[in-house]
Amino acid sequence: MLFTKTLFMKKLIAEFIGTFWLVLGGCGSAVLAAGFPELGIGFVGVSIAFGLTVLTMAYAIGHISGCHLNPAVTVGLWVGGRFEGKDVFPYIASQVLGGIAGAGVLYLIASGKSGFELGGFAANGFGEHSPGGYNMQSALITEVVMTFAFLIIILGTTHKKASAGFAGMAIGLGLTLIHLISIPVTNTSVNPARSTSQAIFVQGWAMEQLWLFWVAPIAGAIIAGLVYKYLAPNNE
């Protein structure tokens, strides 16, 4: 019993560290480097940064916790029959706390610059808070569809019949593509933990709109879990 509890605690710590890295690396690139004068990395750079955070952690902690780093991924894997229901909420708690810790470190770094203003702090939003001015309907559709696609990639590449060892690359590149498509719409969430971590610091409008970045990704993940479970059950 003690061994089992210790093993599970290691999984939760791994999820905390992984989500910490995702937020610090992905949102950090947006806050610190995207608009840097003349040499900024822009949307493409931020997209690559998010993909790299998942790719690197997939190989670093995938063998420990499965490297979910995302409440929507955890829910989607559970619906798809790949994850125990009793472990869903502890995983989500670790992911949210890890994301907040990552945002906290990012805030400490960013606020060290003279004239610092919090601004949007890479928070997700719609309407006037969408980078491209997209409305709530566009944001909702985008987040559902992008998360659906992300979970299809995850469920497919981690299927027992898939080629071993390549899942991390496909998942990281998939997240990069998702960001390339959807940063202009919502700043790209597909991850409630990532959205929560930034909204807590921005407060105001970001907290008011946060509901969409929980509802839409989880809805997309549930649909993907059901669809992939029908297409290719992991026990085939």
Query: pLDDT tens, position by position, for the chain (236 residues)?
Result: 777 889 999 999 999 999 999 999 999 999 999 988 888 999 999 999 999 999 999 999 999 999 999 999 999 999 999 999 999 999 999 999 999 999 999 999 999 999 899 999 999 999 999 999 999 999 999 999 999 999 999 999 999 999 888 999 999 999 999 999 999 999 999 999 999 999 999 999 999 999 999 999 999 999 999 999 999 987 75
Cβ pair 75, 215 in contact under 8 A: no
Give the model's pLDDT for residue 3. 72
Cβ pair 81, 30 in contact under 8 A: no
Give the model's pLDDT for residue 236. 56
Distances (CA, A) of 123 to 43, 130, 131, 202: 14, 10, 10, 7
Give the model's pLDDT for residue 38. 80
Q: Among all chains, which residue has been given the structure tokens 């590449």?
A: 157
Cβ pair 121, 202 in contact under 8 A: yes
Q: Closest by alpha carbon to 76, among 209, 206, 192?
A: 192
Give the model's pLDDT for residue 79. 98
Cβ pair 24, 51 in contact under 8 A: no
Distances (CA, A) of 50 to 93, 96, 205: 21, 17, 24
What crossing angle do the helices spanning 2-22 and 88-110 adopt, rounded to 10°? 40
Distance between CA atoms of 108 and 98, rounded to whole angstroms?
Answer: 15
Cβ pair 92, 176 in contact under 8 A: no
